[in-house]
Amino acid sequence: MMFAQRPCYLTSMDTTPSTPPSNEPQRTSPSYRIAALDQDFILGQSMRGVRFLLEFAKADEALTAWGVRSTIVVFGSARVREAGPGRDAFWYDQARRFGAIASQRGGALAAPDVRPRDNVITTGGGPGIMEAANRGAWEAGAPSIGFNITLPSEQQPNPYTTPDLTFSFHYFAMRKMHLAMRANALVVFPGGFGTVDELFEILTLRQTGKSPKIPVVLVDETYWRQVIDFEALARHGMIDAADLSLFEFAVDAEDIWSKLVAGGLVVGGRAPTPLSSPPER
């Protein structure tokens, strides 16, 4: 039997030491970044849910550290000025007075080492009515919260919110959640689209039982009846007549406080009534 002879390949090997290529491309590749430190990755489409979670957790952690158990949320126009025209000056003054009254009487003035704090004034953190309410709390020596939102025309925080409790949100939905989840009461001064949006957000939560039975007070009945015909909603069958009792009107700071207390504002260190669904706040 004949066997074919295997071909023999002769190779020559260069035994001269060579310099390996640089690993610079590997070290500088985006894939090599630690995920938590990779801004391009964190801000990418797939991480939207994570960013949403981060916006919840960051504010929640700070509020917990300050012992904030419940809040009084104050809405109103960012365009109102302290020396503005028409009713502006009155609205600003009453929001400022209310911020002080609520802070002095509601439980926000706990000593630094005392927890929890209740009925802490909370706003959207911007100018106008928000500034006035935060200012009143500041003048009373109490902490207050500002939940700012990034906007095309950047909204700057007003100088009266507590620095450790001044936040900036990208997502309106998460900002709304933080505004609602600790609220013991809602006070709504005259405002525009944003104010009306927040008002109906809370009223819808109350109407559907997704919120505790907190008092809601609208300031300046004349203004609100001019801009919204609440009774027409009931006449057309879009809401029940009983839904009109979900809010009241007030004329000034003292009247606001009286209406809140009469409406069941929790004062004296008790937590807000838990949500009916889901059972955890």
* Structure confidence at residue 272 as a pLDDT band (50, 70, 90): very low
Task: Give tens-digit pLDDT for 149-203.
Answer: 988 765 789 999 999 999 999 999 999 999 999 999 999 999 999 999 999 999 9
Residue 278 in this model has a pLDDT that exceeds 80 = no
Residue 5 corresponds to which tokens in the numbers above? 């002879």
Residue 17 in this model has a pLDDT that exceeds 80 = no
Sketch the domain layout of the chain as residue ranges.
69-262
What phi, psi does 268 have (nearest 5°)?
Answer: 115, 20
Residue 102 in this model has a pLDDT that exceeds 50 = yes
pTM for the complete prediction? 0.86
Report the pLDDT value the prediction gives residue 235, as an integer from 0 to 100: 97
Residue 1 in this model has a pLDDT that exceeds 80 = no
Cα(50)–Cα(254) distance, integer angstroms:
43
Cα(12)–Cα(25) distance, integer angstroms:
31
What phi, psi does 270 have (nearest 5°)?
Answer: -100, 145
Mean of all residue pLDDT scores within the chain = 90
* Structure confidence at residue 14 as a pLDDT band (50, 70, 90): low
Question: Which residue is associated with the tokens 């007549």?
Answer: 241
Closest CA to 167 of 186, 185, 150: 150
Question: Class of 69-262 per CATH?
Answer: alpha beta
Report the pLDDT value the prediction gives residue 269, as an integer from 0 to 100: 53
Q: How far is CA 274 from the centre of its chain?
A: 19
